[in-house]
Amino acid sequence: MESKTTTHLVNLLQACIDKKAHRAGKILHAFFLRNGLASQTFLSNRLIELYSKCGKIDSACRVFDKIPQKGVYSWNAILSVHCKVGNVQDAYALFVKMPERNTVSWNTLISALVRSGLEQKALDAYDAMISEGYVPTHFTLASVFSGCGALLASERGRICHGLVIKIGLDKNIYVVNALLCMYAKCGLMKDAIQVFGDMHEHNEVTFTAMVGGLVQTGRVMDSLKMFRLMCRKGIRIDSVSLSSILGACGRGVSGEFYQDDLNDVLSSNVHGQQAHALSIKLGFETDLHLNNSLLDMYAKNGDMDSAEKVFAHLPEASVVSWNVMIAGHGQKYQSDKAFDYLQRMQWSGFEPDEVTYINMLAGCIKSGDIETGRRIFDSMSQPSVSSWNAILSGYTQGGNHKEAIQLFREMQFQRVQSDRTTLAIILSSCAAMGLLEFGKQVHAASRKASFHTDIYVASGLIGMYSKCGKTEMAGCIFYNMPELDVVCWNSMIACFSLNSLEVEAFNFFKQMRQNGICPTQFSYATVLSCCAKLSSLSQGRQIHAQIAKDGYVSDVFVGSALIDMYCKCGDVDEARRFFDMMHSKNTVTWNEMIHGYAQNGRGYDAVSLYKDMITTGQKPDNITFIAVLTACSHSGLVDVGLEIFNSMQLEHDVEPVLDHYTCIIDSLGRANRFDEAEVLIDKVPYKDDPVLWEVLLSSCRVHANVSLAERAAQELYRLDPQNPTPYVLLANIYSGLGRWDDVRAIRELMSDKQVIKEPGYSWIDNKNEVQTFKVDEVQAVSGGTC
């Protein structure tokens, strides 16, 4: 009879546990106490389970404390309570105190540590479990694989993979799914695919892990194919798998679609729309996480109209929803709309978080609205380092390096710890302003924070020292790096090129290839620039062949550099042939070709190409007009040049600057139209720039216009007394006219003012080696030249 009563009470207690009936459970608990049943360990263990299910942790602990004889099940029950509510430290302390443990104890602890983000502690606990002779179960290994995935500890995961096979759990779908997820998170998709292929059965978790892993590693098309296979096999599609595939569609724009046959591949937005339709068909319209994934997909694809529609029909929104909309409009350079969403978000009762402000800052910076970005930044009570980086990046990108450096100093005063991004940004500003001493201080700060060997920071340091002319220091940074990537190599090549060490840059490029580093677009563009500076056509052609081999011929950046190289090496026809072959051209490409014609004295071709550029709808910029006006000047097309110059502001909304005026004055001077040149130079807003007067003085020499030459020389003496150019040019004019006394007077004036003419340099390209020669002595002013 007593046995039947106990069974009945147990059944009642189980019903309370199943239904989370806290009140009914308390009544039962009271009955146990009145009838002396509370001392029974079995009933007490079930009471702990009841209170745990109902979230009454204190009650569970009190029951546990009063158990007279605690068995391993009792300890496991209270351990589970602490783990369930995230009291990991208490759970760990309790675990240490346990007089007896079993596999369940270890599994409970390891699982809780992984869920709490303490993966390394979880793996250490697993090691202790194995060392004490316990055999892991499928629960243990699933948690361990999850921990390995979070830590990207692939080698540790491989060892556990071997154990899975050894103890015969390689057919357990729970374990194998966790194993597959681990490989996917570590980016080891080859291993993940192998595991996938060896599985006897798959479920939605398997496919979702595969889709997510393929997306993470940039294999967008493969992830879409995997999702289609999932649909064909009739695997249940849940909101998680749909969110994964929407992530793939959102990455399509910057993913690998361009590598496939575009006739067979629909745009990423169409794939996303199909996934959207499927989510509606499956009844997930109210799933907030999925709706946020939809918003993110449309925003990343730039389809803000569709994102607006989804957002407007959300049954409920979250901070994530608002953040996605703010980020989306920011990416579209619509900072005003992003700011409108920020205000609406606050009016709707949502509190902006760190991501909100970073998205808003990024939007303002992209839109060029740094003032609004700064106001938002200043309104933040405690901006994180990411927010500091965003506003610093805005100032740097906008060329306001002085403000960036001042803000960086303020960051130091507020004791905000810089990260690798902060240091790289501020080093960029130091480089742009040539602030060597401040750059050295940043270098010291990077060493203190142990970031000096970080590839990202090291590249910034190399760039800073390069711009400040300290190639040796840049080399020290490079050679002391524990490991190097292509960015570091590119930085050093650029360093040599920037400091007119083209031969060294070219040799360094060769060394990079010998070390097995594949050049990038930047590598090729820089070394082509070196070939152009050295007028080394043979080297340039070799680089062109390597570019074709590596598949960079269609890159606009590299293509423009190739055109520049051929033009500067005198092979303008080869440059034009390559120009005509290019599938896509930007303004830089057109400018390089027009400028190439100008350099090689083919003014008519330059003007014709300029007109073609206008006809194709490409908008000319400042550089375009410098190139075409230079061509007109060098080819005597004075009236054509004046016509183009006058059209700049009227037809193309380009304000003339110093270089444009210089081209026109040069053109008029070459044509002996000095009256017009003087009228123009008196109207120019750049009269105190020596370049204008140097150009005019050069023209005066050609046409022996002594009076205007003397005026130009006097202006140059005033503006830059140590510049030898006006002295030499005026002396040459005098010598050409046989006015030797005036020539002697110029030489004496140079001597009195200690003006020194630097020796010139020449070089020849001989059997792929460049040899440089220096003129050791300046020619004496005799026989007519200075």
Cα–Cα distance, 692 to 474 (Å, whole number): 36
pLDDT tens readout for residues 690-716: 777 777 777 777 777 777 777 777 777
By the 8 A CB rule, do 590 and 560 touch?
no
Q: Is the pLDDT of residue 59 over 80?
A: no
| Per-residue pLDDT at 465 | 92
Q: Which residue bears the tokens 């029951």?
A: 63
Cα–Cα distance, 532 to 535 (Å, whole number): 5
Q: Is the pLDDT of residue 33 over 80?
A: no
By the 8 A CB rule, do 536 and 569 touch?
yes
Cα–Cα distance, 209 to 182 (Å, whole number): 9
| Per-residue pLDDT at 184 | 87
Q: CA-CA distances (angstroms) from residue 26 to 18, 22, 29, 407, 625?
A: 14, 6, 5, 61, 88
Interacting residues of 769 by C-beta distance below 8 A, sequence separation 6+: none
| Per-residue pLDDT at 735 | 73
Query: Would you list the DSSP string of 687-747?
Result: TT-HHHHHHHHHHHHHHT-HHHHHHHHHHHHHH-TT-HHHHHHHHHHHHHTT-HHHHHHHH
Other residues' Cβ atoms within 10 Å of the Cβ of residue 320: 18
| Per-residue pLDDT at 777 | 39
pLDDT tens readout for residues 590-606: 999 999 999 898 989 99
**Residues β-bridged to residue 769:** 766
Cα–Cα distance, 693 to 717 (Å, whole number): 10
Other residues' Cβ atoms within 10 Å of the Cβ of residue 324: 28
By the 8 A CB rule, do 607 and 639 touch?
no
Q: Is 595 helix (H, G, I), strand (E, B) or coil?
A: helix
Confidence of residue 257 (pLDDT cuts 50, 70, 90): very low
Q: Is the pLDDT of residue 166 over 80?
A: yes
| Per-residue pLDDT at 273 | 83
- The DSSP letter of residue 758 is P
Domains and CATH numbers, the chain: 488-584 (1.25.40), 657-786 (1.25.40.10)
By the 8 A CB rule, do 681 and 691 touch?
no
| Per-residue pLDDT at 679 | 82
Cα–Cα distance, 210 to 207 (Å, whole number): 5
Based on DSSP, count helices (H) and strands (E) in the chain, helices before strands.
44, 2
By the 8 A CB rule, do 763 and 539 touch?
no
| Per-residue pLDDT at 594 | 92
User: Which residue type occupies 561?
Assistant: A
Other residues' Cβ atoms within 10 Å of the Cβ of residue 515: 9
Question: 319, 297, 323, 300: which is closest to 310 by C-alpha?
Answer: 297
pLDDT tens readout for residues 135-149: 888 888 988 999 998
By the 8 A CB rule, do 364 and 373 touch?
yes
pLDDT tens readout for residues 432-477: 898 999 999 989 988 888 888 888 888 889 989 999 989 999 889 8
Cα–Cα distance, 11 to 31 (Å, whole number): 14
Q: Which of 41-45, 232-236, 427-431, 447-451 shows the lowest mean pLDDT across its residues? A: 41-45
- Average pLDDT taken over every residue of the chain: 81
pLDDT tens readout for residues 521-563: 899 999 998 988 888 888 889 999 988 888 888 888 898 899 9
Q: Is the pLDDT of residue 766 over 70?
A: no
Cα–Cα distance, 554 to 521 (Å, whole number): 11
Q: CA-CA distances (angstroms) from residue 2 to 10, 26, 30, 696, 711?
A: 12, 22, 18, 119, 124
Other residues' Cβ atoms within 10 Å of the Cβ of residue 270: 13
Q: Which residue bears the tokens 């960086």?
A: 408
